[in-house]
Structure 1
Amino acid sequence: MNDSSKKLSLTSSLLIGLAAVSIIASMFFPWWKMVFYAPQYPEGLNIIVYPNKLDGQIDIINGLNHYIGMSNFGEENFPELSYLIYIIGGLAGLTFITAVLRKRAVLYGLIVLFATGGLTGVLDLHFALKKYGSNLSPEAPIKIDPFIPPIIGENTVANFITHSLLGTGLYLIIAAFILLLIPLWKDRAK
């Protein structure tokens, strides 16, 4: 019997089931946010990204971004928000199926799918940020050089300091991924 056909232990199955619960829970929390600080906004302005919607002081931020020629943020500009929740639900379902089947080969496939989805999400966010920061209107009242806000970290544009942060939902997704990796170590061939 080769390594990939061996059954995972019951403990590993429970960890995979817990990963599925973590994935489902992630749908109810923000995945990412940007907080904009400036002298006139010391409390900060937020753009908060959930898997299916945007939240925060988006109207105020759009009004300010107009001055540097940046396009408006809005759910209509992020078609991913209309279907991402279904992909996450599907991933949770596949994770539950993996927990029930307890097959290594299925777990390997799930991990590859999970990692591919994560990489795709990071690239999608990077390209969206690049589009917003580098396609500035030449007719804008305030001229600034094009820029790419970081996915995680700090950026300064004019008198605004922007902090990009992971949200609770994404930490739950990271926890789920780690829970999927533990059985590979725990049930490794002796």
Structure 2
Amino acid sequence: MKQQRLSGISSLFVVCAAILVAASIFFPWWRMEFFAPQYPEGLNIIVYPNKLDGQIDIVNGLNHYIGMAEFSEENFPELSYLAYIIGGLAILTLATALLRRKSILYGLIAVFMVGGLLGVYDLYRWLNNFGTNLSPTAPIKVDPFVPPMLGENQIANFITTSYLGIGSYLIMAAFILIVIPLWKDRRR
């Protein structure tokens, strides 16, 4: 039985996907912005695959008042290895393009889907942990809450907005690029 091969154009789509996956390492994947009357310019937490950025110290100082744990790279062990996983995914995607086998492409699509689901679960787990494990000795008492992964929320006088960063959009575009060959080469 002859294995189905990807066309040259389809392989080019997959090469482009590999480039997008590799590029995503250098861009934020998720961010949360905080606005309040005393911070009209806003504060933010920016999450890259390998680091946290933004006004982390100020946010931690404010979160202390409601008993929330500190945001730090040490508290997110994923940041120490996630960039390597993404680099490996980029290499796997490029290898799929070079091997041009549909069966390997199906496996790559599965890896993207499982990785995406694990990423969403991990983000939810961390947000749940930070928002529901508040210190009982905090100066300001608030009910436990789960900050939204996407969208807006209000805690006290702070309005928070969470949204995806460019890196996440690059990964989504890469996923679309690896699915296109299934449609494009469906009659081959």
The reply to whether TM is greater than 0.5 is: yes
Instruction: Please report the TM-score for the alignment, with normalisation by the length of structure 1.
Output: 0.97
Query: Cα deviation per residue 1:37-90 (whole Å; 9 max; x = unaligned)?
Result: 001111110100000000000000000000000000000000000000000000
179, 183, 186: which one aligns with 1:185: 183
* 1:34 matched to 2:38: no
143, 161, 164: which one aligns with 1:163: 161
Q: Mapping of 1:1-190 within 5 angstroms?
A: 1=1, 5-189=3-187
CA RMSD of aligned residues (A): 0.9
* Secondary structure class of the residue paired with 1:35: strand
Hey, what's the Cα distance between the residues in 2 that align with 1:101 and 1:133? 46
Structure 2 counterpart of 1:189, one-letter code? R
Hey, what's the Cα distance between the residues in 2 that align with 1:135 and 1:118? 26
Structure 2 counterpart of 1:142, one-letter code? I
* Secondary structure class of the residue paired with 1:68: coil
Hey, what's the Cα distance between the residues in 1 that align with 2:103 and 2:155? 48
| Structure 1 consecutive aligned stretches of length 4 or more whose deviation exceeds 3 Å | none
Q: Which runs of 5+ in 2 are unaligned?
A: none
Query: Cα deviation per residue 1:16-45 (whole Å; 9 max; x = unaligned)?
Result: 000000001101100000000001111110
Count of matched residue positions in the alignment of Structure 1 and Structure 2: 188
Hey, what's the Cα distance between the residues in 1 that align with 2:82 and 2:35? 29
